[in-house]
A and B are shown apart, each in its own frame.
Chain A
Amino acid sequence: MTKIVICGVGGQGIILASDVLSLVAMDEGYDVKKSEVHGMSQRGGSVISNCIFGKKVYSPLIGQGEGDILLAFEKLEALRRLPYLKKKGLLIVNDYEWPPSTVASGKAVYPIDIIQTLKDKTENLVHVNCVKIALKLGNIRCTNIVLSGVIAKYLPFKQETWLSVIDRRVPKKTVEINQAAFCEGFSNVACL
């Protein structure tokens, strides 16, 4: 059983990314469960989604210390959700800073050098600036699928499966750019 925690800020496209991941796992013949929370937390708050696949999956929810992979869409959120990751787990973080309202209003400061802190705390860290890649492709909105490309590198699924799920799941007009985003993410990771 593999447990993946996806986290970030409401509005970053986390739900779509975890949908795609789950459907790929399902297409590849696994039992899959996915869990997320709607409502209040989606208004720019901190968001978390769980995706679990394996031969048979029971709990749709990942407890602390149980995540095999933590896929973080934002640096501060990576830090916040770190307790969900196993000590030997893999942390993939989008090297991107989105100050929360508490920071924007000057009530708190955004921690400096989060990547270094994460490096010190985890054994397997991958960090990529996916926003930059998405902007290069021409649409910041496909950052989430760039990140899907990055995580794909570490999952036992075929690239065609990913591409066909993206084709079915994203709005028609954006299929091409999202598939390109996936490939960019996939090929841009410097392997550990």
Chain B
Amino acid sequence: MSDEREEIEDFSPFAFRKSLSLPRQRRGVVRFCTLPNILMGESMKVFMAGNEAVARGAYEAGCRVACAYPGTPSSEILENIVKYKDKIYCEWSVNEKVSLEVASGSVFAGARSLVAMKHVGLNVAADPLFSMGYIGATGGFVIVTADDPGMHSSQNEQDNRNYARAAKIALLEPSDSEEVRLLTKIGFDISEEFDTPVLLRLTTRISHSYGIVNTEERKEHPPKGYNKDIKKRLILPAHARVRHKIVEERLKKLKEYSNKFSLNRIEWGKKDMGIITSGISYQYVKEVFPWASILKLTLTWPLPDKIIKNFANNVKELFVVEENDPFLETEIKAMGIKVIGKERVPITGELDTYKLRKAFEIPTEELLDIPDIPSRPPVLCAGCSHRGVFYAISKLKLIATGDIGCYTLGALPPLNAMDTCVCMGASIGNAFGLELALGDKINNKTVAVIGDSTFFHSGITGLIDIIYNKGTSTIIILDNATTAMTGHQDHPGTGITLMGEPTKKIDLQNVVRGCGVEHVYVIDPYNLKETIEVIKREVERREVSVIIARRPCALRIKPDKPFRVIPDKCTGCKLCLRLGCPAISIKDDKAVIDKFLCTGCSICAEVCIKDAIV
């Protein structure tokens, strides 16, 4: 470590330039390889993201079935597993709950199975998760949760390690891509040996960081076959009471195992400072405190009490470094051990080496200061099919209960066209609740806005509720034929499965009509006039109506001829700026359109009353 420190301090771009002319010797034998080589099962070093390493681990472990609903930062797990589709059946499930249920079915039959979801997805899947905690795992069952400390792309910072404790199942926390691969495999083994689902907990920084991984070959684990066992799998109260006792016994055995688990390891350094850590925090600790004694925990539920006590007894001062909740800390304190954790390490936000140094009052570099500068929030893409609908909502001054997807960006200025966003599928129930609370005061003013993929995920149930209970709100389904935000995954409305096979395309109109909605209209959001007219008409209707605004996502179409501004006609009124299209800006008091960004969607031309955009 010490010579590396020197390397950092010595860094000079000039020094590097000098070395450029000298031929360098190759160090080591690290190879870059492309997918075909990996697929041959050869063992080699590959540069992989954590999510890709889950896929690799699952493949090597003989996994048979993998299910997920996409959600950042977990989406790439299944996108990588599909590369092994000859060996692993994989699917985009309609939501996380269904994904966990499908995989559970395969587990009943003794097939190694995996589900992956973002942290809030596990809330959706919590019901079957807790039941599976009792039922156990005949075939290995790995449940991957990708948490998002720092909320890079999420609505909260929940720490899903708490789920492992609550559901009484084993928990593994990898610290880099290679450990992800390894622990995915070990997870299947633990699962089968202890008859428990295993929660593999990643965080954004594990999922989306790349490191060097050593691949191994796949080992087949043919499904054990199905044996009827209702005392185990049909958890009636009478059966579940027996199961609960078994689960508590299982936890005891797991704790013994945790105490022997080689990846729960002590790295002795100086004994005046001992740090207990897990997951990504281990990397920050290694960099900031290279000299300290470190207890790196990897199997973190149930915790290895003996190792922890031994470590605590041998160091002068004991600390816990973990992101978000004091999960380890609370348990360690409950063992009667004195330890410092959240008194120093922040409970909110993502950790890094700089923040860790600050927390421990270690001197850091003086930072270069910057003046106040304009922010750069994400925006709806140029040509986004959602823009027309939001422009209409903003023009009609409606209250819009929103949902989760790219279209949540419609809440930002200049569109300001969304009032609420709670969770997947919430928009419809929220709109109905507003209507119940405010009655006539709010009629003709509310719309629920929901994307196509989100509607399939959990909007349908809200729709059935509002119809059954005699609501009158208007629901707009933004149908861009993809799950855009998370990277354009297919869904039940696209007619293609994750395996790339054509399938029955579930027709939104039929679904909505089948739920009992009489007023269903399909509009083209590129046609602003029609969009505004239909929305205005339907919010006034004292019955539930559904408007389907249909246009493919702008990132998935071939752009049309770009529009341009005729400078002589443009008066600089800035009306077109209200669309918030990133292709339009003002230069010298005239609007200009960036021809590389413009997709030719035409809505700015519809907005311009001077006909200056053609």
Which residue numbers of A lie inside 8 Å of B, CB to CB? Answer: 1-3, 9-10, 22-23, 26-46, 54-66, 68-69, 76-77, 79-80, 82-83, 85-90, 99-111, 117, 121-122, 124, 140, 153-158, 165, 168, 191-192
Whether the Cβ atoms of A109 and B374 lie closer than 8 Å is: yes
From A29, A44, A46, A58, name the one whose CB has the most chain B CB atoms within 10 angstroms: A58
Whether the Cβ atoms of B32 and A26 lie closer than 8 Å is: yes
A115 CA to B16 CA, complexed, in Å: 24
Q: Looking at the complex, which of B59-67, B217-225, B313-321, B578-586 is the stretch in contact with chain A? A: B578-586
Whether the Cβ atoms of B23 and A158 lie closer than 8 Å is: yes
Whether the Cβ atoms of A59 and B284 lie closer than 8 Å is: yes
User: A105 and B413 in contact (CB under 8 A), knowing A23-B47, A65-B365, A83-B368?
Assistant: yes
Q: Looking at the complex, which of B201-209, B328-336, B495-503 is the stretch in contact with chain A? A: B201-209
A61 CA to B208 CA, complexed, in Å: 11
- A37 neighbours in B (Cβ, 8 Å): 73, 152-153, 204, 208
Q: With contacts A38-B487, A56-B4, A102-B376 known, what are 14 further pairs, Cβ within 8 A? A: A2-B7, A33-B209, A37-B153, A37-B204, A40-B153, A45-B378, A58-B283, A63-B352, A66-B365, A90-B13, A99-B585, A101-B412, A101-B582, A156-B24
Whether the Cβ atoms of B378 and A104 lie closer than 8 Å is: no
Which residue numbers of B lie inside 8 Å of A, CB to CB? Answer: 4, 7-8, 11-14, 16-17, 19-20, 23-24, 26-28, 30, 32, 34, 47, 72-73, 75-76, 152-153, 176, 204-205, 208-212, 280, 283-284, 286-287, 352-357, 364-371, 373-381, 406, 409, 412-414, 485-487, 574, 577, 580, 582, 584-586, 596
- B380 neighbours in A (Cβ, 8 Å): 43
Whether the Cβ atoms of A29 and B30 lie closer than 8 Å is: yes
From B283, B377, B574, name the one whose CB has the most chain A CB atoms within 10 angstroms: B377
B365 is contacted by which of A46, A87, A102, A158 (Cβ under 8 Å)? A87
Q: What's the A-B contact tally at a CB cutoff of 8 Å?
A: 229
User: A60 and B378 in contact (CB under 8 A), knowing A82-B370, A122-B368?
Assistant: no
Whether the Cβ atoms of A29 and B27 lie closer than 8 Å is: yes
Give the nearest-CB partner of A45 in chain B. B378
User: A66 and B209 in contact (CB under 8 A), knowing A26-B47, A87-B368?
Assistant: no
6 CB contacts below 8 A, A to B, read A22-B210, A35-B210, A54-B4, A66-B365, A104-B586, A111-B373
- B485 neighbours in A (Cβ, 8 Å): 39-40
Whether the Cβ atoms of B376 and A33 lie closer than 8 Å is: no
Whether the Cβ atoms of A76 and B16 lie closer than 8 Å is: no
A192 CA to B485 CA, complexed, in Å: 42
Give the 10 A-B CB pairs with smallest separation, nearest first. Answer: A63-B354, A39-B153, A29-B27, A65-B365, A45-B378, A39-B72, A108-B374, A60-B209, A100-B376, A104-B585
- B586 neighbours in A (Cβ, 8 Å): 104, 106
In the assembled complex, how far is the CB of residue B57 from the closest CB belonging to chain A, in whole angstroms?
18
A102 CA to B379 CA, complexed, in Å: 10
- A46 neighbours in B (Cβ, 8 Å): 375-376
In the assembled complex, how far is the CB of residue B203 from the closest CB belonging to chain A, in whole angstroms?
11
Whether the Cβ atoms of A79 and B13 lie closer than 8 Å is: no
- A122 neighbours in B (Cβ, 8 Å): 368
Whether the Cβ atoms of A42 and B373 lie closer than 8 Å is: no
Whether the Cβ atoms of A55 and B209 lie closer than 8 Å is: no
Whether the Cβ atoms of A64 and B354 lie closer than 8 Å is: yes
Give the nearest-CB partner of B357 in chain A. A63
User: A61 and B27 in contact (CB under 8 A), knowing A33-B211, A111-B373?
Assistant: no
- A58 neighbours in B (Cβ, 8 Å): 283-284, 286-287
- B574 neighbours in A (Cβ, 8 Å): 106
Whether the Cβ atoms of A40 and B365 lie closer than 8 Å is: no
Whether the Cβ atoms of A60 and B205 lie closer than 8 Å is: yes
Give the nearest-CB partner of A33 in chain B. B211
Give the nearest-CB partner of A117 in chain B. B371
- A10 neighbours in B (Cβ, 8 Å): 378
- B32 neighbours in A (Cβ, 8 Å): 23, 26-27, 165, 168
A64 CA to B580 CA, complexed, in Å: 32
- A54 neighbours in B (Cβ, 8 Å): 4, 7
Whether the Cβ atoms of A55 and B210 lie closer than 8 Å is: no
- B375 neighbours in A (Cβ, 8 Å): 46, 100, 102, 108
Give the nearest-CB partner of B75 in chain A. A38
Whether the Cβ atoms of A63 and B353 lie closer than 8 Å is: yes
User: A26 and B72 in contact (CB under 8 A), knowing A37-B153, A40-B485, A192-B13?
Assistant: no
In the assembled complex, how far is the CB of residue B237 from the closest CB belonging to chain A, in whole angstroms?
42
- B208 neighbours in A (Cβ, 8 Å): 35-38
